[in-house]
Structure formats: C-alpha cells, structure tokens
Amino acid sequence: MRRGAPRRPSLWRLLPLAVGAGVLTWVIHYQVSDTSAVGAAGVAKALLAGIAITGLSVPIAVPPTGRAVADLGARWSPSPAIQLAARTLQTTPTATARVIAGLAVSSFLVTGALGVLTAFESVGQYRRPAHAIEHGPQHHHLGDNPWEVGGPTPTPEQAAAIRDVDGVLDVHPDYSIWIACKDDGIDICGEVFVGSCAQLALRVVVPDCRDGIAALLSNPDGQAAPRPASGNFEITRDLGNTQQAAATLAIKGAVWDVDIAATQEIFPDDTHPAAIVPPDYPGLASLAGEPTAYEILSGPGFAVRDRLTATTQRMGLGINLQPMEDYDVVNGYAVLLWTLAAIVLGIGLTSVLLTAIDHAVERRRQVAAQRALGVPGRILRLSQALQVLVPLVVGQLAAIALGYLALSAYLGYDRSSQRPTGAVVAMLLASLVGAAIVAGISVLGLGRGLTPQLLRRE
C-alpha cells in the first residue's frame, strides 16, 4: 500500500507564538506610572502569560517553520545538494521534528533562566562582593566593633605588620566619627573619613581633594542632594553602647564634588564617606582617641583573604573579612544553570544525532539508487548534513532568540539595565557548533558509498 505525502503543517501554528512574542514586546516597552491604565500587577500577569504562551508555542511552531525553510530551498536554490535536502525535509518524519522541537524548548527555558540569574547578579548584594573579589579593593574590619564592647584591640605595631601582608593596599584606623543627620535641609551626613587624599582615592573619586584640608563630599551617594554653600560641619564620635556623653568638634572646611560616574565604575554600589578630615586637624586627636579598630583594604582574590586570616590568627586577633555569602550563592546558581544547559544541550543533540543516523540508514536504498544514476557522493553527503543542520539551526536560533526576548521582558519589568548578551551569544555559538558536529557525524549513516554489496542488499 502506497503512502501519501505527509500532511503540510499549518502556518496557523505560528499564531500563538506571534501572540506570546507580541505580549513580551509590549511588556518591554510599557512604562508603569501613576497614570498608567495597567498597573504593575497587570504587567506582571502579562509577563507571565507571555512567557507561558511563547514557551508552549515553541514546539508547535517548529514543524511549520522547518517546512517553510524547506519549501524556500526547494523553490529558489539552484544547488543540487540543497534541492535534495529540501525535498527530503518536506517529507521528514514527524518524530524528527519532535526531537528538534524538544531541544528548542529546552534552549528557550535555559535562555530565559539566564534572565533570572542576571537579576540576581544586578543587585548590590552581589555586585559589591563580585567587584571586590574580582577587581578589588576588598574591605575588611579588624578589631572592636563600635556597637560591641570588649574584644581584642590591635596595636599600631600589629596594624603595621598587617600592612606588610602581600596584597594589602591600606590599613586605616577606624575612629567611628560621624556627621549626625539633621532635618535642616542638608542631606550630607554619615561617616567621616580621617586620612589623606591618597587613602581616600582607594574609596571614592574626588578630583579636587588636597591634603591638609577638611571638606564635605557633596552628593557622596549619587543622590540629587543640594550642594552645600558652606563647608562648615560638626562631627561626633560614635561611642557604641557605652554610657559616655558623645563629644563634638566643629570643622571649617571646603566642599568637594564626588565624581559619581568614575566612583561607581571603580567601586560599584559602595557607600562612601560624607566628609574628609586630615589626621592633624586641631582638636581631632582628643575627639578620636586611640584607634581600637582598623579598616583593611586589600586587592582582589581569595588568596589575600587566606593570608590575612592566617596573619591575624597568629596575632590572636579577630578579623571580619568582607562577606562573600551572596557572591557564593549566586555563583552556585550560575554553575548549576550552566551545568544543566550543557546536559540539556548534550542530551538533545545526541537524540537528534541518533534519530538522524537512523533516518540516514533508512534512506540507503534511495541513496544507492541516486548513486547508480550518477549523483556524486559528495552531493549526497552534503545533502544529508544539510537535512540535519538546517532544522537544528532554525530551531535553535528561534528558541534562543525567543528566550532572549523573554528574559529582556523579565529584566525590563525588574528595572534592570543589564542583559546577559554575552552568555546568550556563547550559548548560541555552542548550539551552532554542536549542530554542525551532529550534522557531520550523521553522514556516517549513509554508508561507505556505492558497492555491489550495497546494491544487492538495497
């Protein structure tokens, strides 16, 4: 009994995909405001609906998309290899399309998951330790906590010895001196840095800084605060839980602007001092007293952390290294995600390879007949490779592009400006390389060429 030609997949299958992609595009460009017809909750529902519709539409859309590409190749390409591949793809068994569709769905989900990972990586709890451990500087604390009485007090000699540890940039006394925040229209308040301009440069970029001058650091946190007309301010020492009365000291100084853009590039999401006072400012020594704690700035990497821990342990001191818990957790998620991506891509490509080889073995009779009619073997091999490569490339391109659209919508809703473009491109390149390898290996299913044994068998 002769079988009819396979039923052409309807192009109406692309309609749900177009709807889902349209919803995600709307979410990307919609700006929620007080006058918006759709609130944040409505946009969130649209985002979830768009991701769900697009994800469910991917396996439905793969067969008509592959058939459309095959039709184009059969109609317009003059290449015999492409013509043979297109004609074969027009009659490809549904099982092959299903395997490719399954791989496309997995790629869509993994690409979309990169958006969640990027959302974690864009928050300050991750950006601060990530920048510190990868680029420096790292901020550590040695000695008493200002809010806890007691504990070992490091000596100046011990601080000097720690300064000599390889990778340490600065060891600076922490006096816990502040400008009290008052409701007087001046927003500059917070911790006061006592030190030199060279030491300040390891924390914040102040182009006008000059040693020996006290100054308010205008707009240190990047907020739209009014620039003070005067550099006069009052500082006090935080005495923690003690019952002593806090002394104050009036400071006369200048007003210097912080280069916010340069500061955020070097020290992203860090908090910065509200003012700088030189160590020899009159009256400061009696207010500050002897330092009971030190701030340590070190270069990047985990090795310097280990050296600091070993050094302070030998001295009998406790050190609070810059916390890396959030950094470790997010990196753990990243390793898990990329591991799953590698497993999914490997299993998917292996399944496609096995299906393609089985299909090539089934076509050996047809290939033998084509060889007997004089079709060159290189054309038949190229045709077989294209039969595997084209649907894989089309499916992966569509899936990863739609996944990138979904993650862009999610990150846009999350108000994140970061996009994992590099990671998505890396995943796309890995998919294309894998598709090329699978297509090349699938040629082995055709056999070694036209032989008497093949003709007799087929």
Can you give the pLDDT at residue 401? 92
**pLDDT (mean) for 5-13:** 69
Cα torsion 159, 161, 167, 169: sign? positive
pLDDT of residue 1: 43
432 sits in which H/E element = helix 421-442
**Could you write out the DSSP letters of every residue in 38-102?**
S-HHHHHHHHHHHHHHHHHHHHHHHHHHHHHHHHHHHHH---HHHHHHHHHHHT--HHHHHHHHH
> One-letter amino acid identity for 141?
H
Residue 34: pLDDT over 50: no
pLDDT at residue number 245? 52
As a whole number, mean pLDDT of residues 116-130 equals: 86
Q: What is the pLDDT of residue 440?
A: 85
Q: What is the pLDDT of residue 452?
A: 58
- What pLDDT shows up at residue 147? 40
Categorize the per-residue pLDDT at 310 as very low, low, confident or very high, splitting at 50, 70 and 90: very high
Candidate ranges 71-75, 220-224, 279-283, 358-362; pick with highest mean pLDDT: 279-283
Pick the range with the lowest mean pLDDT from 30-34, 82-86, 96-100, 125-129: 30-34
- For residue 456, the model assigns a pLDDT of 60
Q: Give the pLDDT score at 391.
A: 85
At 218 the pLDDT is: 82
Residue 8 contacts by C-beta under 8 Å, 6 or more apart in sequence?
Answer: 67
Helix axes 325-362, 94-121, angle to 10 degrees: 170
Distance (Å, rounded) from C-alpha 316 to C-alpha 97?
67
How deeply is 250 buried, as exposed, middle or buried, from its count of CB atoms within 10 A (0-12, 13-18, 19+)? exposed
pLDDT in tens, 266-305: 777 667 788 899 988 998 888 888 888 888 999 999 999 9
Does the structure show a pLDDT above 70 at 449? Answer: no
**Is 211 a residue whose pLDDT tops 80?**
yes
- For the chain, the average pLDDT equals 81
Low-confidence winner among 116-130, 220-234, 341-355 (lowest mean pLDDT): 220-234
pLDDT in tens, 128-171: 889 889 988 898 988 765 444 345 788 889 989 999 999 999 99
Where does the pLDDT of residue 243 fall: very low under 50, low under 70, confident under 90, or very high at 90 and above?
A: very low
How much of the chain exceeds pLDDT 90, in percent? 16
Q: Is the pLDDT of residue 319 over 70?
A: yes
Q: Any bridge partners for residue 251, and if so which? A: 233
Q: What was the pLDDT predicted at 307?
A: 94
Per-residue model confidence (pLDDT) at position 223: 54
pLDDT computed for residue 146 by the predictor: 43
Instruction: Give residue 31's pLDDT.
Output: 64
Distance of CA 308 to the CA centre of its chain: 30
Q: Could you give the residue ranges of the DSSP H alpha helices within 289-376?
A: 303-315, 325-362, 364-372
